[in-house]
Structure 1
């Protein structure tokens, strides 16, 4: 037997059978669900803005948009509820080595996230049902619990991920988890900054996606006041988020050299410790060397350590067994940052042109740029989470529990992966069909879907019987 075959058998023996399908399923499920979660965070604020304008500025178009966005939000919320439920089961099924010993540590944020979910669902229903049934000001206020619940739920979930990066709130004695402090685990050192990073990213995704929908409508000739309002409000939210996000990201990564030097080395494609360190644009790690990158002197130290000559740790300081997949981590991080700067450029061009009195909503090239900005924002969020999660490997709880030790040993998880894929594909098709059906009715001038039964239909049939000769 050759040496490569022996090594392959050793690796296969060390890794549980469920590790690879568990990784694939979590990546697929989280990558799909995170986009829906963004709408739960960003959409309520935009709906509130439109509804407020409709009431206090006597703007009928704004009220129409608020009602339409709420209906779209309800569809996305329903689909997100299913995918979120799947994720809650996956945590226990796929990662028993994590949830078994650390379930009591992580139980508090998951419990609060469940309460936030039900609160958001209740007030979304009240808001949808309240049109024409509640005083305008009171109806407007029902959006606020939705927005707060979205924030709380997002914080709870992100705090768990932050805990995986900086574990706290427990001790391990003789292999047992003791002295559990769930509040300390939930409010760990990274919880607020990582939540802020995700919160701002959610407004980028929803802002640019929603603005892109109306940009496409204007490209097709629908340049009425409703489309212009539908563009400007979400684009404004996305603009603010696009400018704030680089600063939040910089503060979040400030202590990475001390917390997770291997992740920082992968981000910067740093093979050896350098002082000062360059900023490497592009490039790949091949045979232990960084190749095909564009190096900008000093900037790597400035970004990573806030100094032109501070050292940036290299992969040579990290044992090989503790190093993450470098190329995936590096390219994902650079893709996130690169798209972020592109979105800033689009925003800057628009607002400078508007300040100078030029209306870019009448130009096709700008509308096409905004139409592309939405999908790019989604890619940036996916790339950011990929960099964060892959860069933490081989640890699921950094420095405490390896991912391989947390996985299940059953090969049947491949069947679960297939079933999850089919379920998510069906939900994607269903949501797309429903939303497209709603938009077609709105374009035709119909606000509500005709009901197949009810008093109005009965009255119409009775009138036809009277008129029949």
Structure 2
């Protein structure tokens, strides 16, 4: 493994690990706040107990997300010093503001966790809302920085120099909104379906059923709406990619040849040497319509992109297919849940449907991981699209494979520790005697 691959692998591992905790850290406080609101409005103890149980999970994910996020920020400077030398003054603002949001989130979480019976009930609830809002702001700001890497703005690049720097223009670049919207909806979908799957499992176990049904209703109703909206945000993102990063779109769709009425490729295995996709289903004109809103529009293929600027097609295409497939299944499940909530409660609490929800538990995060693979691998060979290549940003320090190995051990250890804590927390939802409430509680 050469140094470039080791550095990219380390960043991929760090981002892939952190994004799970970032998603949960952004979304769980909102579920917690909804449950807390229901408790304050109804006085039912099941909502108080559910809020406290969820808040313990929020604390676990917050700490782990803080550690992994800090490591990730250090890696930017350690592995890619040439990039940070020039990019730091330009897109440093969203990272600085993200630090402020994180500071607010930490304070608000402390108030919420230790504020029971100490603050006014509605102020206590508000601190939980602040945890969610500040976490959401952190996520949007980080995505804005990543969007800048895909759509550089806020400076003039003249003779290798970065001039006329405007940090505000860099932060609010032309693609930050579509990327942020897509990421936030993905976080809602992934987290809500994961939470729903856990509580579906606990319902089938037959203990504290009323509490877990309430949890399932809160999580899956929000997740269902997010899953239904997600294809809309995906369409906006795809159209933006078609305009700004045609090579990425071509890799996503394994579109090797520029043509009008370009077909949408579903599945298949790209053969980059033969420039064809094997075993694929093709829908004539659909890619032209999705990319440009016209079934006859011309879609740029990889034949119009210099060979040295081709992203890895196989990885990008398969990741994109996984993301779309997972999102499609979750959207259909969300529609089924909302229909059942409206027409048939017996259906949504039937054993077969609950088992189906358990199967869906990891699917949202699989889609999130695949989506980030599409974003990052599809941008290659650029670290700053069209301006700086990844290989030119790499640190001259040798032996990066050892750094990658060390980080891998750290992340595996963290994963084991967090998994153990979560399993204990889930088991406590079954064994805690306080959860054994009458159905009207």
Which bracket does the TM-score occupy, shorter chain normalised? Answer: over 0.9
Residue in structure 2 matched with residue 8 of structure 1 by the alignment:
none
Residue 385 (str. 1) matches residue 364 (str. 2): no
Q: Alpha-carbon deviations, 1:34-85, whole Å to 9, x = none?
A: 0100012111111110000000122211111111111111011111111011
Structure 2 distance, partners of 1:444, 1:294, is: 50
| Pair 1:426 & 2:413 matched | yes
Indicate the RMSD between aligned Cα atoms, in angstroms.
1.6
Shift in Å at residue 204 of structure 1?
A: 0.6
Deviations 1:215-264 (A, max 9, x none): 11122223621010011101111101100000011012213222111111
- Residue 238 (1) aligns with residue 238 (2): no
Q: Tell me how far apart the structure 2 counterparts of residues 131 and 443 of structure 1 sit (CA, whole Å).
A: 23
1:112 matched to 2:97? The reply is yes
Say which SS state the counterpart of residue 359 (structure 1) adopts: helix
**Deviating more after overlay: 303-312 vs 90-99:** 303-312
Q: How is 1:167-206 mapped onto 2 (pairs within 5 angstroms)?
A: 167-206=152-191
Structure 1 consecutive aligned stretches of length 4 or more whose deviation exceeds 4 Å: none
Counterpart position of 2:351: 364
Check 1:442–1:298 CA distance in 2 against 1; reply closer, same or farther (3 A cut): closer
Counterparts of 1:58-77 in structure 2, within 5 Å, are 58-77=43-62
Matches within 5 A, 1:383-422: 383-422=370-409
**Higher deviation after alignment, 421-430 or 109-118:** 421-430
| CA displacement at 1:447 relative to structure 2 | 6.6
| 8 Å Cα contact 1:162-1:188 kept in structure 2 | yes
Matched, 1:26 2:11: yes
Change over 3 Å in CA distance of 1:342–1:267 after alignment to 2: same
Task: Report the Cα offset of residue 301 of structure 1.
Answer: 1.3
Q: Is the 8 A contact 1:19 1:409 kept in 2?
A: no
Query: Is the CA contact (8 Å cut-off) linking 2:251 and 2:302 kept in structure 1?
Result: yes
Contact 2:175 2:240 in 1 (8 A): no
Query: Using CA pairs below 8 Å that are at least 6 residues apart, which structure has the higher relative contact order?
Result: 2
- Paired with 1:70 and 1:223, the residues of 2 have a C-alpha distance of 18
Equivalent in the alignment of 1:56: 41
Q: Any gaps of 5 or more consecutive residues in structure 2?
A: 436-441
2:438 maps to none
The TM-score, its normalising length taken from structure 1, stands at 0.89
Query: How many residues align structurally?
Result: 433
Output one character per residue of 1:79-128: Cα deviation in whole Å (capped at 9) or x when no partner: 11110110011000111121012111121111111111111111101100
Gaps of 5+ in 1: 1-11, 449-469
Q: What does the per-residue CA deviation read over 1:376-417, in whole Å, with 9 as the maximum and x for residues that have no partner? A: 111001111111111111111100000111112323222221
Match of 2:307 in 1: 320
Aligned to 1:453: none
- Structure 1 residues 345-369: Cα deviation after superposition (integer angstroms, max 9, x where no partner): 1122222233333422432221121
SS in 2 for 1:393: coil
TM-score of the superposed pair, with normalisation by structure 2: 0.95
Q: Matched residue of 2:260: which SS? A: coil
1:269 aligns with 2:254: yes
CA distance in structure 2 between the partners assigned to 1:218 and 1:182 by the alignment = 50
Q: Tell me, yes or no, if the aligned pair for 1:301 and 1:307 is still in contact at 8 Å.
A: yes
Moved more, 215-224 or 231-240: 215-224
**C-alpha displacement at 1:446, in angstroms?**
5.6
Tell me if 1:159 matches 2:144. Answer: yes
Q: Is the Cα contact below 8 Å between 1:441 and 1:447 reproduced in 2? A: no
Q: Select which of 297, 303, 306 maps to 2:284.
A: 297
1:351 aligns with 2:338: yes
Change (3 A) 1:442 1:262: closer
For the Cα contact (< 8 Å) 1:18–1:94, is it kept in 2?
no
